[in-house]
Structure 1
Amino acid sequence: MRILSPVEVMSRFGKALADPTRAAVLLQLQQGPAVPSELADRIGVSRQTLSNHLACLRDCGLVVGVPAGRNVRYELSDPKLTHALEDLLGTILTVESVCQCRTPECAAADRTDDATTQEIPA
């Protein structure tokens, strides 16, 4: 096992958070451990879809599977991730609520986000 560089850590976070389903999984696990069937039901995706996203999150090092009888219970890989997610979410909400950026790049991103935004359960 090797220690990741800060750039590698940020890249893995970016990959994990780039997909709304993975972001929803992280937010659910922020509340506490859960088995895949519970997560799939809460987020509203198939178990196969969830399985693919859990594999990605495991590969990114953000979640771990812990055997629980015949099931595997998933949880955040480090308790500090709970606080990191809270801080990140708070920062995004703060920035988004006061952002007045109207550059062509931001305007294009806003149009894309509006077309693809979905409600993510907390």
Structure 2
Amino acid sequence: MQLSARREAPAFPSDLADALGVSRKVMSNQLACLRGCGLVEAVPEGRRTSYRLADPHLAPALSELLRVVLLVDPDCCAGEECGCS
């Protein structure tokens, strides 16, 4: 998730897309959604735009969320009806 990737430093959408193995269009759409929610902000840098967390309090909160361990029932998402992937 690119939001957790923004904990460390701002990044350009193309770099995030490459790091996460998604298309630039997918990354752009996700960043637009996060920006619309007020979680990230766009920072113009010449002809490019980088993205960073909108509030510095988000970084430690995201770190804490990443420590949460979820228990997933393997039978809850099996078969062709599964929408998890």
Do the two structures share a fold, i.e. TM-score over 0.5? yes
Structure 1 or 2: more helix by fraction: 1
Partner in structure 2 of residue 112 of structure 1: 77
Shift of the alpha carbon at 1:31? Answer: 2.0
Partner in structure 2 of residue 78 of structure 1: 55
Partner in structure 1 of residue 31 of structure 2: 54
Distance of 2:73 and 2:22 partners within structure 1 = 30
Q: Which runs of 5+ in 2 are unaligned?
A: none
**3-state SS of paired residue (1:66):** strand
**3-state SS of paired residue (1:64):** strand
Match of 1:44 among 21, 33, 36: 21
> How many residues are treated as equivalent by the alignment?
81
> Taking every aligned residue pair, what percent have the same amino acid on both sides?
46
TM-score by length of 2: 0.82
Q: What letter corresponds to residue 67 of structure 1 in structure 2?
A: P
Q: What letter corresponds to residue 43 of structure 1 in structure 2?
A: L
Instruction: Confirm or deny that 1:63 pairs with 2:40.
Output: yes
Distance of 2:23 and 2:31 partners within structure 1 = 12
> For residues 9-20 of structure 1, what are the structure 2 equivalents within 5 Å?
none
RMSD: 2.2
Q: Which runs of 5+ in 1 are unaligned?
A: 1-23, 100-105, 118-122
Q: What letter corresponds to residue 41 of structure 2 in structure 1?
A: V
Shift of the alpha carbon at 1:28? Answer: 1.1
**3-state SS of paired residue (1:31):** coil
Q: What letter corresponds to residue 76 of structure 2 in structure 1?
A: R
Shift of the alpha carbon at 1:35? Answer: 0.5
Match of 2:5 among 8, 28, 31: 28
Q: Which runs of 4+ in 1 moved over 6 A?
A: none
1:91-120 CA-to-partner distances (Å, cap 9, x unmatched) read x22xx3xx5xxxxxx748x6329x636xxx
